[in-house]
Amino acid sequence: MAYNVPKPMKREKTSKSKSFHINSNNYSWDSETSGKMKVSLGNLSDAGWYWNGTEKDLNGFLFRLKNSKVKDEFLSSTKENNISFREIKPQLKKAVENGDGLYEMSGDNVVWHFGEIDGDVDESYELEESGISSDKQDEVYSKYHPITYEEFEKENKKSFKEDMKKAVDESNSFEELWAKQDDISQSLVEERMNANSLRFTQAIDKVKEKE
């Protein structure tokens, strides 16, 4: 008598993230096998500032590290802990889905929090070229409202995500990602400068309409 022997059920393979812990005076990076991460930069005692985040902030974390004095120390730490770029690619891709890195790469706190955008518009040149009278210039400034981060994000988040996904896919090391982030950052800054330049000329036009 023949019996049907049930085939063993195939268990789905679950990909685990690498567990590691990097702790320096100016940065930290903790990773669990679940994919959860904790990252931090700076310290209040020496640097005078401190920032922390999670796996959702990974692209911004790496971009800020790249522009810091501890970049080389960080690279050495990844080698000492046997952390390859390939191992963190999945987390980087997930972070990009939320637009992670857009804030940091388009100006960061200097622009979006402290409002230092003096280089975005050559105001003196624009005012001179417009021929607007000097007694009307204060009115121009009252009508000039630089782009906010919320407005900038709404206009650029979609294309940024596409560019960053491609950058992560095509990168095989932290150095390669940083080079691609620099290119994306430059494009974002140009977008911001163009937006503010347009807004300034629009403010001039509004005042001239009343003359």
| Displacement of CA 57 from its chain's centroid (Å) | 9
Backbone angles phi, psi at 49, to 5 degrees: -150, 160
Is residue 7's pLDDT more than 60?
no
Q: Which residues contact 19 (CB under 8 A, 6 or more apart)?
A: 31, 32, 33
* Structure confidence at residue 15 (pLDDT): 53
Q: What is the pLDDT of residue 43?
A: 85
Place of tokens 């979609």: 158
What confidence score (pLDDT) does residue 196 get? Answer: 97
35 or 56: which leads in pLDDT: 56
Q: What is the predicted pLDDT for the residue at 13?
A: 45
b/e string for 115-135 if b means 16 or more Cβ within 10 A?
A: eebeebbebeebbeebebeee
Interval 8-35 mean pLDDT: 77
pLDDT for 47: 76
- Model pTM? 0.86
User: What confidence tens digit (pLDDT) does each residue in 82-141 have?
Assistant: 999 999 999 999 999 989 999 999 999 999 999 998 789 999 999 999 999 889 999 999
pLDDT score for 14: 44
Q: What is the pLDDT of residues 48-98, one digit of tens each?
A: 889 999 999 999 999 999 999 999 999 999 999 999 999 999 999 999 998
Does pLDDT of 6 surpass 80? no
Residue 35, pLDDT above cutoff 80: yes
> Is residue 3 over pLDDT 60?
no
* pLDDT for the residue numbered 95: 94
Confidence class of residue 200 from pLDDT cuts 50, 70 and 90? very high
In sequence order, what are the residues at sequence separation of 6 or more whose Cβ sits closer than 8 angstroms to the Cβ of residue 18? 31, 33, 83, 87, 88
Supply the pLDDT for residue 1. Answer: 47
32 near 17, Cβ under 8 Å?
A: yes
pLDDT given at position 210 = 78
Checking 109-117 for CB contacts under 8 A at 24+ apart, the result is 111/192, 112/148, 112/149, 115/146, 117/146, 117/192, 117/196
Chain mean pLDDT for the chain: 90
